[in-house]
Amino acid sequence: MNNSTERKITIAIDGYSSSGKSTMARALASAIGYRYIDSGAMYRAVTLWAMRNGLVAPGSEPDVERIVEGLPLIDIDFLVDGQRQLTTLNGEVVENEIRSLEVSNCVSPIAAIPQVRHAMVAMQKAMGRSKGIVMDGRDIGTVVFPDAEMKVFCDASAEQRASRRFKELTDKGAQVTYQEVLDNVKTRDHIDETRSEGPLRCADDAVRLDNSDMSIEEQNRWLLDLYHQRVSQS
């Protein structure tokens, strides 16, 4: 548990799609009593809104102009339900829907729209104003919290990441193939790395973690050790 007399820091965890960021970020936040924010859920919620309004579909280009016009109509929030955090879109819990492969197949082109990024980044910066936060994403250490005291960048092989995500989706009953998930992981990585605004990039001062051969317990312990080091240095 976090010692309340300890100075609170900001923790940024970035990395490739399905690299286990959210699992380790959530576990760390819970262990140290910090707030956890999944920034990817926010881009997924915007994407779901655009899908429901016919402004994007798998395999077609998003209607950028109408999505940007619609941004003021999109209210994204998080409800805390015990250990879980549920993403809401205009007051409706959309946690399950935003995790579908359909949303994954549409999200990266929408997350590449500069105006969408500006709106999400402004909300994320506001959430982190009083520190004591763990946020995961693609640009947290580079754009959202460039001054974060602790930055981690996660990676693992594309095949390893796809098999983890495939298991997660099929455990929930989704009808998907491993190949579809692998293709999605690779396509998103490419779009996320090559966009002009806030591309997926390891911050110069981030610690890199390749968790291909690590269990969840091992990666959680590794992250907690790093947190204790950072707090003792700050």
Site residues for ligand CDP per CB under 6 A: 17-18, 22, 39-40, 43-44, 107-108, 111, 137-140, 188, 192
Comparison of 40 and 62: residue with beta carbon closer to ligand CDP: 40
Cα distance between residue 38 and residue 69, in whole Å: 24
Structure tokens at 214: 């690590």
CB of 21 to ligand CDP, least distance (A): 7
Evaluate whether 18 touches 162 at the Cβ level (below 8 Å): yes
Cα distance between residue 152 and residue 20, in whole Å: 12
CB of 231 to ligand CDP, least distance (A): 24
CB of 28 to ligand CDP, least distance (A): 16
Look-up of token digits 């819970």: 30
Comparison of 105 and 227: residue with beta carbon closer to ligand CDP: 105
Bridge partners (DSSP) listed for residue 134: 11, 36
Q: Give the residue closest to ligand CDP by C-beta.
A: 40
Comparison of 26 and 188: residue with beta carbon closer to ligand CDP: 188
CB of 17 to ligand CDP, least distance (A): 4
Neighbouring C-beta atoms of residue 121, cutoff 10 Å = 19
